[in-house]
Structure 1
């Protein structure tokens, strides 16, 4: 398939992203673990995000349908103030950093995002929101690493920051030989009050 051929489907989610200074705080805490746990599949720092709704594989033609409604939602929503805090793991395989701050606002934003997606006729699995930032995945036979790293991050508490933009993100499926890669399809300023026309 040449580069100009458009894929029939795209793997999509809607998310917030921490600003660089918040990521740098956490990287400083994680840096020793990069050296002591090189077998972990570490996510690229530039890909760190807080998923609000995971839509999965969608027909590529569906994605533009979401853009205007999500832009309007972002413009109308006050940006939540959040912080990165602590750590843990899912099933000893997925290492994460927790989210602190305006969690009620975060849950409200996620609920509104999911309502918009449903109103666009896009089917998806409406999983409960567990706000977190995925940092790494353990390889088979190395599951103890996640609990060791999480224990070292238990007291981490980053500074508060404002989530400035809502991101519509596409990714590969991670089943290929390389790491999962993410790319912004679109993003919109939160609380801008600038609704799209129509």
Structure 2
């Protein structure tokens, strides 16, 4: 069984910049920071190639510029906001969602709110630090199908956003 999600990841520069602005023990592992486009959850291992094939049919939108800034929370989760070309990112996410649903893997149709989860424990100090944060922009050039294995994120399929 695989625990799958589709995501885009930040540049090393964006990760390093954000990490430098946060207290080390308060933030979750930076190698896990990403923007989730679709969460599939548990998928039988034989379904992984079917998911990858569905994603391969999604029209690539071309590079997308993003930047981290600001903060928010969902319950106890503290997140960094994502800014930039959100209209194109949202349209691409909708294409991904539709392709997965057509392949028999429907995902939640809730509104898309791109963010980076920084901590699963609310910390006012962390939220305050992030509230005024503005990071460097980066260009997203690929997206990935990722498996969560024992707390690590392992890309099992990747594709360029270039047409």
Query: Which of the five TM-score ranges fits, normalised by the shorter chain?
Result: over 0.9
CA contact (8 A) 1:56 1:124 kept: no
- Cα distance in 2 for residues equivalent to 1:69 and 1:155: 39
TM-score by length of 1: 0.77
Instruction: Find the residue that maps to 1:159 and give its secondary structure.
Output: strand
- Cα distance in 2 for residues equivalent to 1:187 and 1:47: 16
- Cα distance in 1 for residues equivalent to 2:129 and 2:152: 27
Larger Rg: 1
State the match for 1:18 in structure 2.
Answer: 10
- Cα distance in 1 for residues equivalent to 2:94 and 2:106: 15
Runs of 4+ with >6 A deviation = none
TM-score by length of 2: 0.92
State the shift of 1:26 in Å: 0.3
CA contact (8 A) 2:82 2:116 kept: yes
State the match for 2:117 in structure 1.
Answer: 134
Q: Structure 1 stretch 123-132 or stretch 105-114: which is displaced more?
A: 123-132
1:66-77 aligned within 5 A: 66-73=51-58, 76-77=60-61
Give 2:44's match in structure 1, choosing from 59, 63, 68: 59
- Cα distance in 2 for residues equivalent to 1:127 and 1:10: 23
1:27 aligns with 2:27: no
Hey, which of these two has a bigger chunk of strand by percent? 2
Unaligned runs of 5+ in 1: 1-8, 175-179, 194-198
What is the aligned-residue RMSD (CA, Å)? 1.6
State the shift of 1:128 in Å: 2.3
State the shift of 1:17 in Å: 0.3
CA contact (8 A) 1:67 1:186 kept: yes
Question: How many residue pairs are counted as aligned between the two chains?
Answer: 163
State the match for 1:111 in structure 2.
Answer: 94
State the match for 1:86 in structure 2.
Answer: 70
Instruction: Find the residue that maps to 2:134 and give its secondary structure.
Output: coil
